[in-house]
Chain A
Amino acid sequence: MVTITRKLGVQLFLVVTLSGIIPTLVTVYICLQFAQVRPLTPWEMIILGFIATGLFATGAAQAIYLVRHINNLLTKANAATQLGASRSGDQLKQLDSALDEMTADLRDKVRQLEARNEQLRTTNSQLEITNQNFQKLDSFKSDFIRFASHEFRTPLTTIRESVSMLSEGLAGPLNEKQTKFTDIAKRNTDRLIEVVTSLILLTKMRTQIKPEEQSIVSIKGPLEDAIKRVQTHPNFAVLNVTEPDPSQLASVLGDRNLLTIAIQNLLNDALTHAYPETQATVVLAAEGNSLTLTVGSRGSRIVQGKIGKAFDGLRREITPQNLPSGHGSILDLTIASEIVKWHRGTLEVDALSNGETPVIVRLPKATTPSPVKNGGAESASSKPQQPQPALVQ
């Protein structure tokens, strides 16, 4: 602004000088030159005076016009500058206001973040405590399994062995009543051992995180083993196994011992609850990608109204009459169910119109061909393609 005014002043000075004073001075000079040659007449002096005055007046008028014009320009420029400054001020105020709001927002958000951070710290410490508690619980479960395994099984083994030796007559001959008592003691010790063993197995299955090494198992092996194990069952004679077609003998990826236990439990359950003069049936079939094992019998094994609860933990058994105890435990179906789930299979009960409630087990077939060794497990080094089954919690 200051720079512009100075420039205009210099220009004004030059214009006034050039357009007014200089022509006047030139006129005066010419008059003086004439005056040296001869004295000027009054008319000549008047005319020269008019010319000089005209020239001066013209220059002055031009100068005044220029000054006014410049003044106008300066006024406009000043107004424009003032308007621009005013606009910038508003914008700055708006900007300042917006920045204030943003700062306030940011402070608020920082406070919220700090509060959340604190909450997270608290939650984290709570989680750590919970985790420690879980670890303690896990350790307690492991200790319980070890304790139950050792502290229950060992004395039970001793009791059973004592009773067995008594009943075998190793401590002398027994009379009929004594034999009856030792038989009852032996059977019930066996029953107790089975319950303890089942509980330990169930606890292990529900708590063990790491699945054991898997192998491809032909279902024929566990089925044959399970049948052998139930041969001492009083109702074994009613068991009718449909000889499977060799094409139906598919393999599954799993644990042979566990599969044997599952099938044994199902057979025990079917035999124990079979009505007199009926059959317990076992049918093995391959359907698509699944292997189906159906174990059925007509009896009181699963009350039709309670089919949905057949595998829920401790099922209250309906003890058949005239059947000695000690064949299977109340956890048989639950354990079978856990084992089947552990192998990524399904287990369901069908309700047939004839009153039969067959248990249908479906297991996924192993994806790789299964060269069967000794009707059972193949080496784990065969690297089966099927994913490792996860434990059912």
Chain B
Amino acid sequence: MNPPMTAASTAATQPTAPRRILIVDDDRDLAEMISMRLTASGFDVDIANDGMMGIAKVKERIPDLIVLDVMMPKMDGFEVCAALKEKLGARCPKIILLSAVTAGLTANAEQIQQQSGADAFLTKPYNPPILLAKITDLLDL
């Protein structure tokens, strides 16, 4: 389904200075997979396995971008997004929401993105090149 990662696309996303990305997902395996993918693309990656931990990590050090799962225990992705936007305001990092669940018949990414205040929305199973393209775009790389 997804075209394989090519050397060209990897090179295109290779940042000049390592940018820090925080992955917030309660699915440890998937978080690890995304982390490996992004690390291979030259990013400095950290993982938080729930929303509270994610907010705590952001407080410690604000990342350049957050890949945020929607369905999580304790705090879901929308709540984490709203809390970060409220606390950090303009200093809030770029946020990509990642969800396996869509309320409607199809995922209306634009609508979900607007409602949540996130900068992008992707559905699982995500397409790695599209995820990397979004990150590159949002970080102006």
Chain A residues near B (Cβ < 8 Å): 146, 149-150, 153-158, 160-162, 164-165, 167-168, 170, 190, 193-194, 201, 204-205, 208, 212, 232, 255, 257-258, 261, 326
Contact = CB atoms under 8 A, between A and B. Distances in A.
Contacts of A157: 30, 100, 124-126
Interface residues of B, number: 26
B106 A261 contact: yes
Tell me the dominant secondary structure on chain B's binding face.
Answer: loop
B37 A208 contact: no
Nearest to A229: B1
Given A232-B3, A326-B1, A149 B33 contact: no
Interface string B1-13: 1111100000000
A204 B103 CA distance: 9
Given A158-B27, A158-B30, A161-B30, A190 B101 contact: no
Contacts of B5: 164, 168
Contact of B105 (A150, A160, A194, A212): A212
Nearest to A338: B105
B133 interface: no
Contacts of A149: 100-102
B55 interface: no
Nearest to B71: A150
Specify the main secondary structure of chain A where it touches its partner. helix
Contacts of A154: 27, 30, 100, 124
B136 interface: no
A225 to B, nearest CB: 12
Nearest to B29: A158
A160 B27 CA distance: 15
A190 B1 CA distance: 6
Contact of B106 (A164, A194, A201, A232): A201
Interface in B19-68: 27, 29-30, 33-34, 36-37, 40
A224 to B, nearest CB: 17
A160 B125 contact: yes
Given A154-B100, A157-B126, A160-B125, A255 B1 contact: no
A145 to B, nearest CB: 8
A39 B124 CA distance: 161
Contacts of A164: 2, 4-5, 128
B126 to A, nearest CB: 7
Interface string B99-114: 0111011111000000
Contacts of B102: 149
Contacts of A156: 125
A74 B1 CA distance: 121
A165 B32 CA distance: 12
Contact of A201 (B71, B101, B105): B105
Given A205-B105, A212-B105, A153 B100 contact: yes
B54 to A, nearest CB: 17
A167 B107 CA distance: 29
A232 B33 CA distance: 25
Given A149-B101, A150-B100, A205-B105, 12 more contacts: A146-B101, A149-B100, A154-B124, A156-B125, A157-B30, A158-B33, A165-B33, A167-B4, A170-B36, A201-B105, A204-B105, A232-B1
